[in-house]
Structure 1
Amino acid sequence: MEALIAKFIEWIKESEHIVFFGGAGVSTESGIPDFRSKDGLYNQHDVQFDKYQPEYLLSHTCLMREPEVFFEFYRQKMDSRGFEPNVTHRVLAKLEEIGKLDAIVTQNIDGLHQLAGSKCVYEIHGTTHKNYCASCGERVGENYIFETTGIPRCPKCGGMIRPQVTLYEEGLPEDAVRGAVDAIRKADTLIVAGTSLNVYPAASYVYEFRGNHLIVLNKEPLHVQLNQEKDLFIEAAMGQVFVALEDALF
Structure 2
Amino acid sequence: MNDVEHTLDAAAALFGTAQRILFITGAGISADSGLPTYRGIGGLYHERLTAEGLSIEEALSGEMMTHRPDICWRYIAEIEANCRGAQPNAAHRLIAALEHEKPAVWVLTQNVDGLHRAAGSRKLIEIHGTVHHLRCTECPHERDVPDFSGLALPPACPVCGGLLRPDVVLFGEMLPQQGMDRLEAVLLGGIDLVVSIGTTSVFPYIAGPVWWAQQQGIPSIEINPGDTEVSRLVTHRLRMGAADALTAIWRRLHRPDPAED
Alignment-derived partner of residue 202 in structure 2: 198
Q: Deviations over 1:140-167 (max 9, x none)?
A: 2224754311221111111111101000
Q: Deviations over 1:56-106 (max 9, x none)?
A: 111011111111121122112234230011111000000001125421000
Cα pair 1:22 1:194 within 8 Å, conserved: yes
Alignment-derived partner of residue 245 in structure 2: 241
> Which of 200, 216, 226 does residue 220 from structure 1 map onto?
226
SS at match of 1:6: helix
After the TM superposition, which of the residue ranges 199-208 and 150-159 deviates more from structure 2?
199-208
Q: Deviations over 1:1-36 (max 9, x none)?
A: 011101111110111001101111111111110111
Q: Percent identity?
A: 28
Cα gap change, 1:75/1:223 in structure 2, threshold over 3 Å: closer, same or farther? closer
RMSD of the TM alignment (CA)?
2.0
Tell me the matched-pair count: 246
**Structure 1 letter corresponding to 2:226:** E
Cα pair 1:124 1:202 within 8 Å, conserved: no
- The residue correspondences of 1:16-95 to structure 2 (distance < 5 A) are 16-43=19-46, 49-79=51-81, 80-95=83-98
Cα pair 2:26 2:199 within 8 Å, conserved: yes
Q: Deviations over 1:189-243 (max 9, x none)?
A: 000111111124433343333363111111123343537xxx2111122222111
SS at match of 2:102: coil
CA distance, structure 2, for counterparts of residue 104 and residue 183 of structure 1 = 10
**4+ aligned runs moved over 4 Å, structure 1:** none
Structure 1 unaligned regions, length at least 5: none
TM normalised by structure 2 equals: 0.87
Cα pair 1:18 1:100 within 8 Å, conserved: no
Matched, 1:15 2:15: no
Cα pair 2:139 2:160 within 8 Å, conserved: yes
SS at match of 1:42: coil
CA distance, structure 1, for counterparts of residue 33 and residue 47 of structure 2 = 18
Structure 2 unaligned regions, length at least 5: 255-261
Cα gap change, 1:120/1:169 in structure 2, threshold over 3 Å: closer, same or farther? same
Cα pair 1:85 1:112 within 8 Å, conserved: yes
Cα pair 1:215 1:232 within 8 Å, conserved: yes
